[in-house]
């Protein structure tokens, strides 16, 4: 992996960087010399860090010493210092001009991955990053290189090492021998909070207080919380008729601080016959996807920085690279196909409570051009096909749950306890109530949803027809299994005849706030969109296209649902945290519309049944139905829920073919007979 003579290459590169660090001036003078000396100094500090980790130097350090050292690793990119950091494209462009500034800012951010490589003792990745820096430095020695020369260096770095970076990423998910995080979780003394600093991520009060709060709980409380999660995962297989006994591994994704809970989850999964993998959110450009984190991670030291570099792939993305990376992905799965075949899917623990992020859109940041946006869509589509051919959608499952972090405010402990209660609401009570709603919806030709109090939602959602009403249903009765907490009924709408406008005053989608979002649909496809985030309408549309459409020109409506978890809604408003909740909970707090694939994506041919025994037949729409004839057009590989809160809903009405109307919600309250219990939390 990464070539031969790795130790020798590491030493040679390390020695060369020390020379640059102590005064080998760049021939081009300032500001170039300052950049290279400072960056070489950072790399030199990282080689020292790698040695300190290897030699166990931190074992005797106090929590205070570890915290100070941890902060020093990230001090340069923290908000107070970001305006003069090379990680900030705005600052780099001011120093070096647009072309050079973007390239050198990219390089600096890529090099910062050395922090976690030092903690994980990944000498190979460390070495190639040092060699990349030296190659860029040497390009400046004779004369100022062209921006194209620098771009070519970066291009060949990502191209040459795609095989290695991509394969390691694949193995992290399915190969239990890559156990860096699991070893910490299972072997460290979790009552000694010094363990948090062994991960290498930025550690804040969020992680520390979360760990302290979990440490204050009894073994029974931890066991019950873990059981809600692991049992939901098991039920996901059971309810869809999938055989969990064929699976050997599960991947837990979580945020640092929850290790005591994760340890218990690992034990419970082991009792099911599943070994656990836990991998870090990607830190290198080859494996990152925009600013979205998949894996485990700590509090972000700077979310604006992550947003600024979301499209750094624009520096090198072309058709050849896409084919190279797809080939690397295919080869990685082929080499690890046995492990992939027994991978059961992810078990995800989300967090909420961090201060909502409203990004600044900077012109200095790298952007994708139209050709690159198309290539990005092509890669996502074909990569998904590759993954699905080795980890088959019809055989895998998942589960997802969410908990608050201390940043949510002074009521953290109360909100945490309330969240645990919401995650364990009574199954039978909701099963009966939601079945009553489904019984009415199953009589409808379409559902009408209209807003109130300034909300301009006005949409008609067309429903699939049933050939055998006595044994078929259109809506799933969603209880506490893969999607925790319980509290919704959902369907895959028929696209033709689904028309209208979805509007919400404020909503968080993929960790970004959208103000006064409006989406127009015609025959189930997005035909228009806007929001009020920026004064410039073009920026508003670009913001939505990048972060919800994921650069597709349009998306279908993949899901319509009615959330029933009024307990969560009232709790959120009591503590004024609606705007801090994740989609996972928010989607249960009102009707929601998902743009992208259906909830049954890549598993449409598996029969699914509600608790009453009826088969849920609305697993397809006109787009996903193309999977057998035009598979390249059947999936979009995204699914984003847009929820309208109860207090912005004027009515949700089931409309039968003969025009008979049955109201389910009026003025934000459930009015359907048999649903009275759902209004009690409001009282």
- Tell me the backbone φ, ψ of residue 613, rounded to 5 degrees: 95, -10
Percent share of the chain, pLDDT over 90: 80
What would the 3-class secondary structure string for 121-150 be? CCHHHHHHHHHHHHHHHHHCCCCCCCHHHH
Q: What distance in Å separates the CA atoms of residue 489 and residue 611, rounded to the nearest whole number? A: 13
Q: Name the one residue in this structure whose structure tokens are 């039920």.
A: 235
Q: What distance in Å separates the CA atoms of residue 430 and residue 486, rounded to the nearest whole number? A: 8
CB 482 within 8 A of CB 236: yes
- Number of helices (H) and strands (E), helices first, in the chain? 22, 19
pLDDT tens digits along 84-98: 999 999 999 999 999
pLDDT of residue 620: 92
pLDDT of residue 26: 62
> When comparing pLDDT for 292 and 116, which is higher?
116
Q: What distance in Å separates the CA atoms of residue 29 and residue 6, rounded to the nearest whole number? A: 32
Percent share of the chain, pLDDT over 70: 98
- Helix (H), strand (E) at residue 7: helix 6-21
Q: Name the one residue in this structure whose structure tokens are 């000396």.
A: 37
User: How far, CA to CA in Å, does 619 sit from each of 487, 601, 630?
Assistant: 19, 8, 18
pLDDT greater than 70 at residue 514: yes
Confidence tier at 28 by pLDDT (50, 70, 90):
low
**CA quadruple 115, 140, 105, 3: dihedral sign:** negative
Residue 41, class by beta-carbon neighbours within 10 Å (0-12 exposed, 13-18 middle, 19+ buried)? middle
pLDDT greater than 90 at residue 201: yes
pLDDT of residue 505: 92
Q: Name the one residue in this structure whose structure tokens are 């640059």.
A: 20
CA angle 189/192/198 to nearest 5° reads 80
pLDDT of residue 25: 61
pLDDT tens digits along 582-601: 888 888 888 999 999 998 88
Mean pLDDT of the chain: 93
Residue 220 contacts by C-beta under 8 Å, 6 or more apart in sequence?
none
**Among candidate residues 1, 149, 121, the one with its CA nearest the CA of residue 56:** 121
Confidence tier at 24 by pLDDT (50, 70, 90):
low
Q: Name the one residue in this structure whose structure tokens are 């705007």.
A: 579
CB 539 within 8 A of CB 462: no
Q: Are strands 343-352 and 249-253 parallel, antiparallel or unpaired?
A: parallel
Q: What distance in Å separates the CA atoms of residue 675 and residue 669, rounded to the nearest whole number? A: 10
What would the 3-class secondary structure string for 161-223 be? CHHHHHHHHHHHHHCCCCCHHHHHHHHCCCCCHHHHHHCCCCCCHHHHHHHHHHHCCCHHHHH
pLDDT greater than 80 at residue 510: no
- Tell me the backbone φ, ψ of residue 489, rounded to 5 degrees: -120, 135
Taking residues 617-628, report their average pLDDT. Answer: 92
Taking residues 177-188, report their average pLDDT. Answer: 97
**CA quadruple 126, 294, 638, 291: dihedral sign:** negative
pLDDT of residue 493: 97
Residue 430, class by beta-carbon neighbours within 10 Å (0-12 exposed, 13-18 middle, 19+ buried)? buried
């Amino acid at each position: 992996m990464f070539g031969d003579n790795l130790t020798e290459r590491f030493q040679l590169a390390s020695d060369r960087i020390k020379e640059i660090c102590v005064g080998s001036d760049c021939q081009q003078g300032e500001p170039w010399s300052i950049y290279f000396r400072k960056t070489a100094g950072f790399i030199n500090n990282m080689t020292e860090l790698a040695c300190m980790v290897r030699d166990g130097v931190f074992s005797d350090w106090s929590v205070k010493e570890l915290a100070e050292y941890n902060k020093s690793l990230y001090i340069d990119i923290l908000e107070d210092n970001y305006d003069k950091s090379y990680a900030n494209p705005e600052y780099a462009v001011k120093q070096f001009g647009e072309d050079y500034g973007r390239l050198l800012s990219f390089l600096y951010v890529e090099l910062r991955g050395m922090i976690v490589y030092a903690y994980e003792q990944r000498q190979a990745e460390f070495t190639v990053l040092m060699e990349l820096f030296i190659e860029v430095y040497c390009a400046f020695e004779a004369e100022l290189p062209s921006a194209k020369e620098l771009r070519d260096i970066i291009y060949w770095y990502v191209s040459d090492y795609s095989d290695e970076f991509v394969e390691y990423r694949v193995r992290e998910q399915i190969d239990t021998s890559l156990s860096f995080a699991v070893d910490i979780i299972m072997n460290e003394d979790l009552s000694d909070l010094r363990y948090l600093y062994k991960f290498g991520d930025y550690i804040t009060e969020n992680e520390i207080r979360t760990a302290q709060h979990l440490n204050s709980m009894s073994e029974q409380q931890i066991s019950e919380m873990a059981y809600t999660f692991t049992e939901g995962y098991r039920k996901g297989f059971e309810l869809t008729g999938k055989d969990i006994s064929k699976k050997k591994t599960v991947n837990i994704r979580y945020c640092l601080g929850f290790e005591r809970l994760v340890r218990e989850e690992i034990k419970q999964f082991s009792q099911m016959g599943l070994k656990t993998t836990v991998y870090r959110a990607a830190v290198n450009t080859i494996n990152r996807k925009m600013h979205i984190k998949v894996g485990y991670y700590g509090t972000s030291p700077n979310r604006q920085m992550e947003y600024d570099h979301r499209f750094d792939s624009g520096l090198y993305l072309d058709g050849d690279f896409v084919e190279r990376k797809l080939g690397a992905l295919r080869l990685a799965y082929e080499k690890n196909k046995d492990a992939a075949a027994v991978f059961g899917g992810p078990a995800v623990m989300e967090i909420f409570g961090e201060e909502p992020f409203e990004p600044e859109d900077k012109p200095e940041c790298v952007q994708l051009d139209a050709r690159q946006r198309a290539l990005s869509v092509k890669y996502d589509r074909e990569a998904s096909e590759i993954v699905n051919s080795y980890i088959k959608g019809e055989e895998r499952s998942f589960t997802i749950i969410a908990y608050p972090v201390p940043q949510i405010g002074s009521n953290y402990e109360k909100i945490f306890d309330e969240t645990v209660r919401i995650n364990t609401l009574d199954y039978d009570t909701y099963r009966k109530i939601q079945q009553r709603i489904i019984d009415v919806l199953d009589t409808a030709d379409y559902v009408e949803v209209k807003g109130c109090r300034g909300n301009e939602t006005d949409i008609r959602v067309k429903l699939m027809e049933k050939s055998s009403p006595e044994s078929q249903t259109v809506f799933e009765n969603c209880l506490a299994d893969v999607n925790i907490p319980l509290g919704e009924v959902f369907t895959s709408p028929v696209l033709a005849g689904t028309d209208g406008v979805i509007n919400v005053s404020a909503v968080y989608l993929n960790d970004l706030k959208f103000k006064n979002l409006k989406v127009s649909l015609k025959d189930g496809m997005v035909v228009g969109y806007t929001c009020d985030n920026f004064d410039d309408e073009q920026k508003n549309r670009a913001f939505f296209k990048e972060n919800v459409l994921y650069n597709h020109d349009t998306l279908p409506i993949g899901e319509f649902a009615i959330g029933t978890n009024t307990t969560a809604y009232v709790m959120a408003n009591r503590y004024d945290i609606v705007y801090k909740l994740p989609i996972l909970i928010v989607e249960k707090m009102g009707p929601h519309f998902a743009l992208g694939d259906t909830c049954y994506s890549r598993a449409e041919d598996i029969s699914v049944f509600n608790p009453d025994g009826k088969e849920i037949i609305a697993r397809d729409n006109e787009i996903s139905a193309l999977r057998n004839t035009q598979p390249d057009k059947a999936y979009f590989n995204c699914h984003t829920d847009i929820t309208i809160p109860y207090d912005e809903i004027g009515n949700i009405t089931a409309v039968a073919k003969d025009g008979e109307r049955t109201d389910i919600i009026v003025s934000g309250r459930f009015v359907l007979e048999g649903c009275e219990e759902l209004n009690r939390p409001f009282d």
